A and B are shown apart, each in its own frame.
Chain A
């Protein structure tokens, strides 16, 4: 067994990330002592990303040993979050974070992406070996359930994890955490709460279980209790970045933007990252703290400059702040290179043209402003609702109210169930002094589509399948990315298949709806259930038991 595990270790392809060359040499020596000879090295986060990218399709890494402190203001946690968010490494790649004993308390923070383990300097090759063996044992025990989870069978995975936890495994807490994660993704909040409670009955004050329980309370509608719990968790765990992020979400959902801003500020100070600084900038814009917004976006633009995380949307947001603070020239100067570099990103081009229009208006160049706005409007139909809202903002600012209203209407209709989008649409109208049309062009649109889908579903239930199908098809053609409409369309077509047997056209349609829903609303209970029902129908048809 030891030999088997030994060869499992020696086969690992490793990446060392440390800004100190002496440390890299030591680590390499220690890996060699364990028989690991395929060892790449990186001296910075940027180098690491390049190396990871170069090996992604050919010999991807199995093990990353990353020092927490990477110099130049970046740290290993930021890099880990980026790598995991963008799926730059395989999910099974082991990530060990190395930290000095003095910094250990600071790095052990719960965020969405935790390393697989921590190694505290100084450590020996034997320490590293025992950590790897422990990791393998855990991985082996959890692997069947994890595979199900990765394949999207969350229901099956939750059952597997439950079984593991009941069996008194040494990895019980991991099994409970993963079981709760599956249930949360399936929106089975009461069951998730029960699992978090089970973990907390084993040990009080386990941060992930406390935070998970609070989230489950929030998601099942108990916002007040969730808020109180989140405040208590954040106070007891000042380094728990997840608690601050959760608090920000609660405050945002309750319209308490200043409190949300404060929580985001704290989260960003615990583990700075481009995405957290960006979230801070967005909220600062929303509450009108233009100086903070400018600082935050400038920080993101500078930090991601020359990096693969560079996003033109940050430049557009910073340019908008410049426009709002009366610095049109700076806004135009910032936009130009981004517009050239990201020519084929239609959503960005629409936003950039809208901001450009406002910048020219600020510079009293009405002709250029008008031309830029025309360009923005011409791009709206090729873009997403968020970009459309940016264009509508420019329309209202330049007195093109009819265009602005038309664009807002289309944006809301594109996905009326997206609460954040609807709130953003209302904000645009409010800021433009057009709150009075909000009912007509936001709320009534939402009601219209709800009525339409309800009507179609009611017709289907009354056996008027053809009429229901026609009605929902029309809606889905006009609103191809509206989650509510697609769900209704998939439901009605599934009903047709189950009652009238499989036909090629309807089957293809259902498949298309479900695939789109998988990208727009992955893992949600209704989508998962419809997927399972569809697979069952196909299976029955194949085995000749179709009705």
Chain B
């Protein structure tokens, strides 16, 4: 009962925040070039991040209650990655961070674009805390899996430490596990990048 109350409240907050985000996005667009631009961008990015966290919480909660089921459909991974990158709303303090993308993937693959987007946004959100100048979003094939990756050029995994709540990592793991193909199950891997920094990978069968 308590849990139900919490989710109802979070759900309402999420809806209210969504309305607020739409209004702020509208204002942000109109303040481009004015002295208010930086402030409104900051508020916009903050509401988007908060909104994403509430949705992450609700998704994780649903996953614990009834299991998370992925609605698999054919998506073009390259296009999808470009959409995710284009949809990112970075706060002004991170505006200097370059978001690059590179895709070497098949024309289409089956995954739940809504859930995978949520996972990648969470991974980018985490990478932003550590990246010095660049975050690279990639996708390619490994061992018959489609692998989405988020690499930062920060100090590397050992220094990253645990995220404050672990919400993002747990969510990504649940999303990966919801993706199955016969016996194959999706997974998340976190490791140090070949050239330093941290590398997040989401493996989808």
Name A's B-contacting residues (CB within 8 A). 22, 26, 29-30, 32-33, 100-102, 104-105, 108, 118, 120-122, 124-127, 130, 134, 168-174, 203-206
Indicate if the CB atoms of B114 and A104 lie closer than 8 Å.
yes
Indicate if the CB atoms of A26 and B18 lie closer than 8 Å.
yes
Q: What are the residues of chain A within 8 A of B5 when measuring CB–CB? A: none
- Is B99 an interface residue, CB under 8 A from the partner? no
Q: What are the residues of chain B within 8 A of A102 when measuring CB–CB? A: 11, 58, 62
A30 to B71, CA, bound (A): 26
Indicate if the CB atoms of A170 and B11 lie closer than 8 Å.
no
A25 to B121, CA, bound (A): 26
Given the known interface contacts A122-B18, A124-B48, the answer about A204 and B114 at a Cβ–Cβ threshold of 8 Å is no
Indicate if the CB atoms of B71 and A108 lie closer than 8 Å.
yes
Indicate if the CB atoms of A121 and B18 lie closer than 8 Å.
yes
Name B's A-contacting residues (CB within 8 A). 11, 14-15, 17-19, 21-23, 25-26, 29, 48, 51, 55, 58-59, 62, 69, 71-72, 74, 76, 79, 83, 86-87, 89, 107-108, 110, 114, 181-182
A204 to B29, CA, bound (A): 45
Indicate if the CB atoms of B25 and A122 lie closer than 8 Å.
no
Indicate if the CB atoms of A169 and B107 lie closer than 8 Å.
yes
A204 to B182, CA, bound (A): 7
Q: Which 6 A-B pairs have the closest CB atoms?
A: A122-B18, A170-B76, A130-B83, A170-B107, A26-B22, A173-B74
Q: What are the residues of chain A within 8 A of B14 when measuring CB–CB? A: 122
A341 to B89, CA, bound (A): 58
Indicate if the CB atoms of B86 and A104 lie closer than 8 Å.
no
Q: What are the residues of chain B within 8 A of A173 when measuring CB–CB? A: 74, 108
Report which of B26, B51, B74 forms a contact with A122, defined as CB distance below 8 A: B51
What are 6 A-B pairs at a CB distance below 8 A? A22-B19, A29-B22, A100-B11, A124-B87, A174-B74, A204-B181
Q: What are the residues of chain B within 8 A of A121 when measuring CB–CB? A: 15, 18
Report which of B29, B58, B87 forms a contact with A130, defined as CB distance below 8 A: B87
B59 to chain A, nearest CB (A): 6
Closest B residue to A121 by beta carbon equals B18
Indicate if the CB atoms of B79 and A134 lie closer than 8 Å.
yes
Closest A residue to B84 by beta carbon equals A130
Given the known interface contacts A33-B29, A124-B25, the answer about A203 and B83 at a Cβ–Cβ threshold of 8 Å is no
Q: What are the residues of chain A within 8 A of B86 when measuring CB–CB? A: 126, 130
A100 to B14, CA, bound (A): 11
Indicate if the CB atoms of B26 and A33 lie closer than 8 Å.
yes
A302 to B139, CA, bound (A): 53
A200 to chain B, nearest CB (A): 12
Indicate if the CB atoms of B48 and A168 lie closer than 8 Å.
no
A122 to B12, CA, bound (A): 12
Closest B residue to A22 by beta carbon equals B19
Closest B residue to A203 by beta carbon equals B110
B69 to chain A, nearest CB (A): 5
A170 to B77, CA, bound (A): 9
A411 to B182, CA, bound (A): 52
A74 to B26, CA, bound (A): 32
Main secondary structure of the interface of A (DSSP, over half): helix
A72 to chain B, nearest CB (A): 20
Given the known interface contacts A124-B48, A203-B110, A204-B182, the answer about A105 and B69 at a Cβ–Cβ threshold of 8 Å is yes
Indicate if the CB atoms of B74 and A105 lie closer than 8 Å.
no
A124 to B29, CA, bound (A): 13
A419 to B133, CA, bound (A): 71
B185 to chain A, nearest CB (A): 14
Q: What are the residues of chain A within 8 A of B76 when measuring CB–CB? A: 170
Q: What are the residues of chain B within 8 A of A126 when measuring CB–CB? A: 86-87
Q: What are the residues of chain A within 8 A of B21 when measuring CB–CB? A: 122, 124
Given A134-B79, A170-B76, 19 more A-B residue pairs with CB atoms under 8 Å apart are A29-B26, A33-B26, A101-B55, A101-B62, A105-B71, A118-B114, A122-B14, A122-B15, A122-B18, A122-B51, A122-B55, A124-B87, A126-B86, A127-B83, A130-B87, A168-B107, A170-B107, A203-B72, A206-B110
Q: What are the residues of chain A within 8 A of B15 when measuring CB–CB? A: 121-122
Indicate if the CB atoms of B25 and A125 lie closer than 8 Å.
yes
B26 to chain A, nearest CB (A): 5
Q: What are the residues of chain B within 8 A of A130 when measuring CB–CB? A: 83, 86-87
A2 to B155, CA, bound (A): 37
Closest B residue to A119 by beta carbon equals B114
Indicate if the CB atoms of B26 and A170 lie closer than 8 Å.
no
A414 to B182, CA, bound (A): 51
Q: What are the residues of chain B within 8 A of A134 when measuring CB–CB? A: 79, 83
Closest B residue to A23 by beta carbon equals B19
A203 to B182, CA, bound (A): 10
Q: What are the residues of chain B within 8 A of A168 when measuring CB–CB? A: 107
A497 to chain B, nearest CB (A): 47
A105 to B62, CA, bound (A): 11
A241 to chain B, nearest CB (A): 15
Indicate if the CB atoms of B22 and A203 lie closer than 8 Å.
no
Report which of B74, B87, B182 forms a contact with A127, defined as CB distance below 8 A: B87
Q: What are the residues of chain B within 8 A of A174 when measuring CB–CB? A: 74
B188 to chain A, nearest CB (A): 20
A129 to chain B, nearest CB (A): 9
Indicate if the CB atoms of A26 and B74 lie closer than 8 Å.
no
A174 to B83, CA, bound (A): 20
A213 to B71, CA, bound (A): 21
A124 to B74, CA, bound (A): 22
Report which of A29, A101, A205 forms a contact with B59, defined as CB distance below 8 A: A101
Given the known interface contacts A104-B71, A124-B48, the answer about A172 and B26 at a Cβ–Cβ threshold of 8 Å is no
Indicate if the CB atoms of B87 and A29 lie closer than 8 Å.
no
Q: What are the residues of chain A within 8 A of B74 when measuring CB–CB? A: 170, 172-174, 203
A118 to B182, CA, bound (A): 26
A525 to B14, CA, bound (A): 53
B110 to chain A, nearest CB (A): 5
A169 to B107, CA, bound (A): 7
Indicate if the CB atoms of A172 and B55 lie closer than 8 Å.
no
Closest B residue to A167 by beta carbon equals B107
A172 to chain B, nearest CB (A): 6
A118 to B71, CA, bound (A): 11
B99 to chain A, nearest CB (A): 14
A172 to B109, CA, bound (A): 11
Q: What are the residues of chain B within 8 A of A170 when measuring CB–CB? A: 74, 76, 79, 107-108
A130 to B86, CA, bound (A): 9
